[in-house]
Amino acid sequence: MFVVMSDSHGDRAIVEAIKDKYINTASAIFHCGDSELPAADEIWQGITVVTGNCDYDSGYQEVVVREVEGLRILLTHGHLYSVNYGLNRLSLLAQENECEIALFGHTHIATVEKVANEVCINPGSIRQPRGYPFIPTYAIIAILNQELTVKFLDREHRVLEEMTRVIEL
Ligand SMILES: [Mn+2]
């Protein structure tokens, strides 16, 4: 199981709360950018993070590839790949990097979508939701055999059951 959050936009406390909750049990914790925190902030110890269009610290990378539980996962904010206009470029980037999963943010809309052979996942914004049901969310992703279960949770760590998605890799 691994954890994904994004677009916390200056809300350091929620990043810390999610980190503290999962740091000892998750195989990885990802932040898809727009944290608006310094890259040198100690909060990033134990979190894999990338830059967003609202991050001005040059200490962040634009794209990170990480292997978790035997899967190759690509992490990027998405603004450099036009995710507001579809996920084809993101999917292609994941494919070029031999990743099965692409994690992104930027749209602030919780999303699970398979494009070509890549599963693209946006955890939503933990601060400023833009998509239905307009609740700030993050995601936890469990892998069993070749099946991903993506659950979305609110700021109080309650699962929003109707948003759960199960998808084949
Ligand atoms: Mn944002």
Q: Where are the alpha helices (DSSP H) in the chain?
A: 12-22, 88-96
Q: What is the pLDDT of residue 39?
A: 98
39-49 average pLDDT score: 98
pLDDT confidence tier of residue 132, bands split at 50, 70 and 90: confident
Centre of ligand 1 from the C-alpha of residue 144, in Å: 31
Q: How far is CA 45 from CA 40, 67, 115, 134, 136, in A?
A: 9, 17, 32, 30, 24
- More confident site: 146 or 96: 96
Task: Provide the residue type at 60 as one letter.
Answer: Y
Res. 38: pLDDT tops 90: yes
From ligand 1's centre to the CA of 35, what distance in Å? Answer: 8
**Separation of alpha carbons 20 and 18, rounded Å:** 5
pTM over 0.95: yes
Number of independent structural domains in the chain:
1
Q: Tell me the pLDDT tens digit for each residue of 4-30.
A: 999 999 999 999 999 999 999 999 999
Q: Which structural domain range is residue 58 located in?
A: 2-168
When the pLDDT of each residue in the chain is averaged and rounded to a whole number, the result is 97
Q: Ligand 1: distance of its center to the CA of 17 in Å? A: 19
CATH number at residue 100: 3.60.21.10
pLDDT tens figures, 69-124: 999 999 999 999 999 999 999 999 999 999 999 999 999 999 999 999 999 999 99
CA of 84 to the centre of ligand 1 (A): 12
β-strands 138-144, 118-122: how paired? unpaired
Opening angle at CA 73, ends 115 and 151, nearest 5: 75
What distance in angstroms lies between residue 146's CA and the mean position of ligand 1's atoms? 31
